[in-house]
């Protein structure tokens, strides 16, 4: 009896997780991509028309494949008919460039330009609704979500980020910023807001609304970053730093959801470390996609069939090389050089990042 029940449960789980499609790499030239970010997409067999797009960005050590498997966005894409693009970070450590001036500048280059061009490509070729493009991510991917919203506010309608830091908090010559990560980079709301505005000077359009999640016992990206994000985005939207509402036990026990008008939402998770687990249906609600259903039209609503290949099993790792000054030389998941070019030595910043200093 027990065995039968277990079997039935397994069957139920298996069918609940069955997807209509697979993760595929987009090998078409999608535009300028100076750092070589790879583009993967999950396109359900039935799409809503026009089709919303979610850009889902992985954590350090992560991959497009891992984020595809580790979140339920693809299952939700089947239910609702949107496309998910999973960019894959070009460094072997799997962290996004959230520090360079290039990445923090509209059309300035860096990882952000490659991702922006994925969005532009999807709008131009797949029938994606330009007014319903969204960004989400975890940890480094959360930081990158803020980068995309700051540098490309013209492309995104909303963002939802899990355990990140404010836009520009990592700015500087190093890929990892310990001062920011440990919550010691404190700025005024005006300064944080100015930083966002500097990402795309002169932008006067509607900015993406932002929802961010953070755990109170995060020791990788300290929770002070949550409070700095509140300062930043309330300033960008010109609203008070005092919440208009703060719902406790929402969306679950230990969490509180503070709202600052319709465009900023800050969810604090008591006793949760790095990272806050994805709450995909909540994120979808923030994006306004909860009631979206796949249209009766075929996936051929796109004008160009996507060029796809199968997913590589592994990425080649560089061997025998030395890392340059400021370069990464270690950390969980790092497969690049671990020796620094003379006279620099490899110094540990944290479990995820060692650097030639």
Residue numbers of the site for ligand NAG (CB under 6 A)? 243, 246, 248, 256, 258, 266, 268
Nearer CB in complex with ligand NAG: 246/338: 246
Residue 248: CB minimum distance to ligand NAG, A = 5
Structure tokens at 55: 């850009």
**Alpha helices of the chain — where are they, by DSSP H?**
2-17, 64-70, 73-80, 110-126, 140-151, 178-181, 189-199, 224-237, 280-286
Q: Is the dihedral of CA 2, 8, 12, 13 positive or negative?
A: positive
Contact of 264 with 232, CB cutoff 8 Å: no
Distance separating alpha carbons of residues 319 and 321, to the nearest angstrom = 6
27: its two tokens: 């090998």
Q: How far is the CB of 246 from ligand NAG (least distance, A)?
A: 4
DSSP notation for 91-132: STT-----SSTTTTSTTS-HHHHHHHHHHHHHHHHH-EEEEE
Structure tokens of 262? Answer: 């319709």
| Exposure letters 140-152 (e unless 16+ CB within 10 A, then b) | bbbbbbbbbbbbb
d(CA 64, CA 17): 18
**Beta carbon of residue 255, minimum distance to ligand NAG (angstroms, whole number):** 9
Q: What contacts 60, CB < 8 A, 6 or more positions away?
A: 93, 94, 95, 139, 140, 331, 332, 333, 352, 353
CB of 167 to ligand NAG, least distance (A): 18
Report the nearest approach of ligand NAG to the CB of residue 230 (Å).
Answer: 6
Q: Is residue 81 a contact partner of residue 292, using CB atoms and an 8 Å limit?
A: yes
Largest CA distance in the chain: 68
- Which residue among the candidates 139, 163, 349, 354 is catalytic per the annotation? 139
Residue with Cβ nearer ligand NAG (43 or 257): 257
Sheet (strand 328-330) strand order: 328-330, 353-356, 346-350
Q: Which residue is nearest to ligand NAG (CB)?
A: 258
Complex with ligand NAG: residue 101 or 248, whichever CB lies closer? 248
Q: Which C-beta is closer to ligand NAG: that of 164 or that of 331?
A: 164
CB of 206 to ligand NAG, least distance (A): 24
Contacts of 153 (CB under 8 A, 6+ apart): 199, 200, 203, 205, 206, 207, 208
Active-site annotation holds for 139: yes
Q: Smallest gap, in angstroms, from Cβ of residue 28 to ligand NAG?
A: 43
Residues in the chain: 357
**Active-site residue set:** 139
């Amino acid at each position: 009896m027990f065995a039968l029940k277990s079997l039935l449960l397994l069957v139920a789980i298996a069918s609940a997780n069955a997807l209509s499609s697979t993760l595929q790499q987009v090998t078409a030239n999608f535009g300028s991509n100076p750092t070589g970010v790879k583009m993967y997409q999950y396109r359900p067999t039935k799409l809503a028309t026009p089709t919303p797009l979610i850009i889902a960005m992985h954590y350090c050590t992560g991959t497009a494949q891992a984020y595809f498997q580790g979140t339920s966005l693809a299952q939700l894409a089947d239910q609702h008919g949107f496309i998910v693009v999973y960019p894959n970070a070009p460094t072997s450590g799997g962290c996004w460039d959230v520090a360079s001036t290039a990445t923090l500048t509209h059309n300035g280059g860096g990882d952000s330009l490659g991702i922006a061009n994925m969005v532009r490509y999807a709008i131009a070729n797949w029938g994606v609704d330009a007014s319903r493009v969204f960004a989400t991510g975890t940890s480094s991917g959360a930081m990158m979500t803020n980068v995309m919203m700051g540098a490309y506010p013209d492309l995104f309608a909303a963002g939802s980020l899990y355990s990140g830091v404010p836009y520009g908090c990592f700015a500087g010559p190093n890929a990892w910023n310990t001062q920011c990560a440990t919550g010691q980079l404190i700025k005024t709301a005006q300064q944080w807001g100015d930083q966002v505005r500097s990402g795309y000077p002169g932008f006067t359009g509607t900015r993406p609304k932002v929802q961010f999640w953070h755990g109170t016992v995060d020791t990788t990206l300290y929770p002070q970053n949550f409070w700095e994000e509140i300062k930043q985005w309330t300033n960008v939207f010109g609203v008070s730093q005092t919440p208009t509402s703060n719902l406790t036990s929402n969306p679950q026990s230990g969490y509180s959801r503070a709202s600052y008008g319709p465009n900023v939402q800050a969810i604090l998770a008591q006793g949760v470390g790095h990272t806050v687990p994805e709450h995909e249906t909540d994120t979808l609600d923030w994006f306004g996609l909860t009631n979206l259903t796949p249209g009766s039209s075929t996936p051929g609503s796109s004008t160009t069939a996507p060029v796809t290949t199968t997913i590589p099993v592994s990425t080649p790792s560089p061997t025998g090389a030395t890392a340059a000054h400021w370069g990464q030389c270690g950390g969980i998941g790092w497969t690049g050089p671990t020796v620094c070019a003379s006279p620099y030595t490899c110094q540990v910043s944290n479990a995820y990042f060692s650097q030639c200093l």
